[in-house]
Structure 1
Amino acid sequence: MNGDVAMLSWCDLTGLVRCRSVLQDQLSAAGRYGVGWPSAGQAILPFGTVADNPWGPLDEVRQVPVGANAMLAARDGWPMFNMVLTRSIDRDGRPWDCCPRSFCEAALGALRQETGWTMLSAFEFEFTRLGEPEVSARPVYTLDAFRTSAKFFDAAVFALREAGLDPQTVEPEFGAGQLEIACGPAAGMAGPDRAVMIREVLREVARRQDVRITFAPKPAPNEVGNGQHVHFSFIDAAGKPVLYDRDSPALISPLASSFVAGIMRHMSAICAIAAPAPVSYLRLGPHHWSCGYGSFGLQNREAAIRVCPPASRDETDRARAINLEFRPPDGLCNPYLLIGMLAYAGLSGIRDKLPLPPMVDRDPADLSDEERRSLSIAPLPASLLEALDALANDTEARSWMPPLLHDAFQSVKRSEIAAVQDKSPEELCAIYRNIY
């Protein structure tokens, strides 16, 4: 085939990217009509089995390209990598109710219609190199650790730039063999689109270098966890930043304060989307620098939402640089579901004119129970089952998702829990480390 293949790709409810491929010269036809995919494919678990679903072997959707792709040229004996993102449409040509991308598009559209805001988002990607004692043994955050992975970093930056994905920072992280790459913000749907493509481009770079990496939130029970934090801000219809308010104690505007408060109100439900696997809850917790409580703070890395203040003294630069960071997500989440839920939750806070949440300037785990109650700080769900129950019982949050999407997500995730319920933490980490 000489590498002349386009991989029509979509991110499913387990955070894995599924695909069907067509020859490059057939891509134009696929762009018009898409490719068929069984609806029940949305119920495939990470382990290859299928959860209970309403479709069975009969229903089918079409995967239609959306105009976003990541392409890497053929080199070093590897064929071209051409990942073409798609959305799911039903037999009548309408967005499928169980399509995460369409859900996100509707959420961002509602935010824009009611506020005039466009959401900008950017993701940080933490991942771990596996099976390389020399890499894992280097002191963390050091130049030595960086140079040990210099060939990978160099290839990753080249590939991300080649694919138009705007790499910004690359660095060794706190864990043994742990690396982090962050890319620049993108507006609207380009943000989660970019997140899906970046993960797959990094996997392709690793394949081409014969390097094993994992985005699993806990490579092993006693190792540092991998997160996939999302940074976000907003611009108005004229492209002007609207997050910043220099007179606010949190440096964010009243409407942005209400947006944050909406997320805080629905934090437990959103965790089902952000930390969507049983292994995710080995990472979340107090003193992990990943957050264990639903709290808000200025530059507080144990807060679930933190304000990342700008360094510049120029007010124009400060307005453009400031952003909010949501810290519970990991690399198993579906970026479309995550951004969609954040948009709907924030919009609900704006509608209800919620006030700025209490700001916490300490690790919430170091507060007394009484102090946490006075600040309305509650622990995050301790398990995926607890998070799924929170989503199911949060009437408003559940209503944001089409019933078909909510019920399919619940079925897939509860089946995933059942499949690994007898596994030890070591076995659980090994399973997800090898899949993701």
Structure 2
Amino acid sequence: MELGQYRTFRVGAADLNGQMRGKRLPASFADKLATGTVRMPLSALNVDIWGHDIADSPLVFETGDADGILMPTERGPVPMPWLSTPSALVPMTMQTEAGAPFLGDPRQALRHVLDRFLARGWRVFAATEMEFTLVDDNDNTIQPPISPRSGRRIFAGEVLSLNELDAFDPFFTELYDGAEAMGIPVQSMIGECGLGQFEVTLNHQDAMRAADDALLFKLLVRGLARRHGMAATFMAKPYAEDAGNGMHVHFSVVDEQGRNVFDNGGPEGTGTLQQALAGCAAAMRASTLIFAPHGPSYDRFAIGAHAPTSVCWAYENRTAALRVPGGAPAARRIEHRTAGGDINPYLLLAAVLGAAIEGIEEELIPPPPITGNAYDLDLPQLCTDWGEAIELFGSDPFIARCLPAELIRNMVMTKRQERLVLADIPEAERWKTYLERV
């Protein structure tokens, strides 16, 4: 894509909450992006959900709020179809002044994890399934949207309903067109069981590209919904009594010969698959903060609400947090099912894949696979309290081996501050913070 066709364009990098932080630049800057010309404080990727600096952050008080250097990622520029004036976004990543990766940048943290796979000659491939909800927020509250077909408000969820998809056909047609223009490989779109809830599946591809596309798809959905008189949200629980939004990740690992290291020709998978499952299970409870990063995220963890809450794995069992799907052995993979739709895709993949490679390197052995309904079994549980999740993430020794120390520290400081601020916001008003930020 030629940036010169636009009068201005945007550059941005994802902060810890998956919000893009960056600048609007004139077209004349296009040739300077790879030279280190674009600078931004390192602390800009370590702000809270409201965009406020983190109190007592070492990025400010130990470095004098030093600048980092924004460099273009391999993703390249993408159009922004939701804007009325044509423009483009160039996804960036943060380096230090010395040219080292800034590991407080979520994308750099994922690269750090993927490099551990590359050191073995392995590449990770991933696919995401994301749920989102279309809402009407015009009356200072959120409620189901008005159907463009009938002119009446939606009053019930319709699982796999083609009728509901067709009722919003202008929106979904534009969504598919926008995704194609941005190079986002949308595989399928379905109606889910919640009010105005839908699920998109993106194609299996390189893990970094999968994270990029998940983040970009969120921007696209939210932007286009506004053009159609609605809001779109990935909040984990938009309505207290309705289904929550989740995000599932499927991943497999391929060696230098192109072979799936999880495939042994049978349904059970290789010892490497077992070790990866063991690592994911070992990190799961302490990773709750990544899977549920916001205060309202914990409303989704209700028994029987299709959100796995226990640390377990199984073959072909959707009540388990870790599922090994059936199908052809060559496609053997792990599905990680715990995260809410409100996550940062880079952090989710970094945590999941960091746990998997740690399990492989330590040659861990997983607990036996479960059978039956996971909700009926006595199993270790994810954290159910935001404060507990914050402190466990910051102190757990296994997490410290999975993720960069700088990322862990910054995440903990950010979430501690958010928790204090959120406590002073009336519960009925909290949706305004998260509706279009997550």
TM-score of the superposition, structure 2-length normalised? Answer: 0.89
Deviation at 1:206, TM superposition (A): 2.1
2:20 to 5, 17, 22: 17
- Name structure 1 gaps, 5 residues minimum: 311-317
1:64 corresponds to: 71
Query: Which amino acid counterpart does residue 118 of structure 1 have in structure 2?
Result: R
2:104 corresponds to: 98
2:272 corresponds to: 255
Change (3 A) 1:246 1:199: same
- Name structure 2 gaps, 5 residues minimum: 137-144, 148-152
Deviation at 1:225, TM superposition (A): 0.7
Deviation at 1:417, TM superposition (A): 1.0
2:150 corresponds to: none
Using the alignment, how far apart are the partners of 2:204 and 2:388 within structure 1? 32
Change (3 A) 1:434 1:95: closer
Query: Which amino acid counterpart does residue 25 of structure 1 have in structure 2?
Result: S
1:185 pairs with 2:187: no
Deviation at 1:139, TM superposition (A): 4.6
Deviation at 1:94, TM superposition (A): 1.5
Using the alignment, how far apart are the partners of 1:73 and 1:412 within structure 2? 29
2:58 corresponds to: 54
Whether the aligned pair in 2 keeps the contact of 1:165 and 1:194 (CA below 8 Å) is yes
2:347 corresponds to: 337
Note the 1:90-169 alignment, pairs <5 A.
90-114=96-120, 116-131=121-136, 132-134=145-147, 136-137=154-155, 139-141=157-159, 142-169=161-188
Whether the aligned pair in 2 keeps the contact of 1:72 and 1:80 (CA below 8 Å) is yes
Change (3 A) 1:207 1:34: farther
Note the 1:191-206 alignment, pairs <5 A.
191-206=210-225
Render the CA deviation track for 1:251-294: whole Å, top value 9, x for unaligned: 32110111011110111122211221111111123211111111
2:311 to 282, 294, 318: 294
Using the alignment, how far apart are the partners of 2:301 and 2:181 within structure 1? 34
Change (3 A) 1:163 1:361: same
1:315 corresponds to: none
Using the alignment, how far apart are the partners of 1:323 and 1:34 within structure 2? 41
Q: Secondary structure at the match of 2:103?
A: coil
Whether the aligned pair in 2 keeps the contact of 1:51 and 1:412 (CA below 8 Å) is yes
Count how many residue pairs are aligned between Structure 1 and Structure 2.
417
Using the alignment, how far apart are the partners of 1:260 and 1:100 within structure 2? 23
Q: Secondary structure at the match of 1:14?
A: coil
Query: Which amino acid counterpart does residue 172 of structure 1 have in structure 2?
Result: G
2:394 corresponds to: 392
Deviation at 1:207, TM superposition (A): 3.3
Change (3 A) 1:264 1:434: same
Deviation at 1:191, TM superposition (A): 2.0
Deviation at 1:3, TM superposition (A): 4.9
Deviation at 1:423, TM superposition (A): 4.7
Using the alignment, how far apart are the partners of 1:395 and 1:258 within structure 2? 18
Change (3 A) 1:97 1:24: same
Could you say what the CA RMSD is over the residues aligned between the two structures, in angstroms?
A: 2.2
1:379 pairs with 2:398: no
TM-score of the superposition, structure 1-length normalised? Answer: 0.89
Render the CA deviation track for 1:5-50: whole Å, top value 9, x for unaligned: 2221211112222221222331120222141112222232112322
Render the CA deviation track for 1:182-232: whole Å, top value 9, x for unaligned: 110111422212222221122232233333111111112222111121111
Q: State the identity %.
A: 24
Change (3 A) 1:69 1:197: farther
2:84 to 70, 73, 78: 78
Render the CA deviation track for 1:153-193: whole Å, top value 9, x for unaligned: 11111111121111101111110001111110111422212
1:266 pairs with 2:266: no
Using the alignment, how far apart are the partners of 2:65 and 2:195 within structure 1? 47
Change (3 A) 1:139 1:282: closer
Change (3 A) 1:421 1:36: same
Using the alignment, how far apart are the partners of 1:26 and 1:302 within structure 2? 50
Using the alignment, how far apart are the partners of 1:284 and 1:81 within structure 2? 39
1:428 pairs with 2:430: yes
1:6 to 3, 6, 9: 9
Using the alignment, how far apart are the partners of 1:71 and 1:208 within structure 2? 19
Using the alignment, how far apart are the partners of 1:81 and 1:331 within structure 2? 27
